[in-house]
Amino acid sequence: MKWPALRVIASIFLLASPGVAADLVIEPVTVTDWKAVYGRVETRDRVPARARLGGTLEELLVAEGDRVESGDQLGRVVDAKQDFQLRAIDAQIQAAQSRLENAEAELARGEELLQRGVTTVQRLDSLRTQVDVITNEIAAAQADRHVIEQQVAEGAIHAPLGGVVLDVPVTTGAVVTPGQTIATLGGGGVFLRLAVPERHATALVEGDAIRIEGPEGAHEGRLAKIYPLIENGRVIADVEVEGLSARFVDARVLVRLPVGEHQALMVPKDALITRAGLDFLNVAHEGDTVLRSVVPGPVHDVDGAAMVEILTGLRPGDVVVTGHE
């Protein structure tokens, strides 16, 4: 859809010099119908930072509104049982090392006795097997210790992406479970998400120009995507807007969507004459100028000029006299 366009058989009356009257032949023009809805500012990526370890949240380093980079530590979860597990494994390793030293000493004596012919080869093989078994027990215990150490390291919670912290639903000292959300992060920029009544779905076209009226003033956006699934009688659509403020996420912004077109009669806003609460226009009639009562409608911006739609009081072909004689 296009912005309202004006087709008039006249000169550009707005450029007429003051004190000079100009005639404007009224013809129907195509005007875009705009539907006012509220859009919601959303981040492109909204990712939860989850705890990989169950335990107690002993350290929380962020709060709502903080800016973080990808990989920054957000907090730390500690499981007290892991410290005891590490101590138990260390004790097992020490005991196995003591048995290994004794088995290696027995193997050395067995090799010496075999050279003297006092012991047998079978006895020596048994001693070698015993040394190998204890060595493998130590390796297994060390592997178990590495697993516990990795679990301890996973207690640190890191930011999955760079952005702003939107929500922190827990506090220091809270008991958390594996997979529980510690903080919700938003990043990747922002866009507008709309929920449009389904009766207007067929009028929406990707690429259409969208009017946005935010706290920073009016903007123009582009309808980037229309989702096929209708939820609760609403069509979900995304709007790309350059310079959209990311200060508040989920903020509501007034958006005007083009949903149709209609024919209208339009005159310059300055041509309206208001007297006693009524609106009039100077209309040429049989070689003279008469005041005709009209009912004005909404004002449209056409190429920087304020044009008002006339609902009743004018007909196509009427000649409106603008300016002052």
Q: What is the pLDDT of residues 229-252, one digit of tens each?
A: 988 899 999 988 887 777 888 888
Residue 303: pLDDT over 80: no
CB 269 within 8 A of CB 304: no
Higher pLDDT, 114 or 223: 223
Q: What is the distance between the alpha carbons of residues 280 and 196, in angstroms, rounded to a whole number? A: 38
Determine how many CB atoms are found less than 10 A away from the CB of residue 174. Answer: 14
Report CA torsion sign: 220, 203, 195, 189: negative
Q: What is the largest CA-CA distance in the chain?
A: 144
Mean pLDDT in residue range 264-275? 90
8-16 contacts, C-beta under 8 A, 24 or more apart: 13/268, 13/322, 13/323, 14/268, 14/305, 16/322, 16/323
Average pLDDT, rounded, for the chain: 85
pTM, to two decimals? 0.63
Q: What is the pLDDT of residues 252-268, one digit of tens each?
A: 888 888 888 889 999 99
Mean pLDDT in residue range 198-210? 84
CB 187 within 8 A of CB 177: no
Quickly tell me which residue has 């859009």 as its tokens.
39
- How high is the pLDDT of residue 249? 85
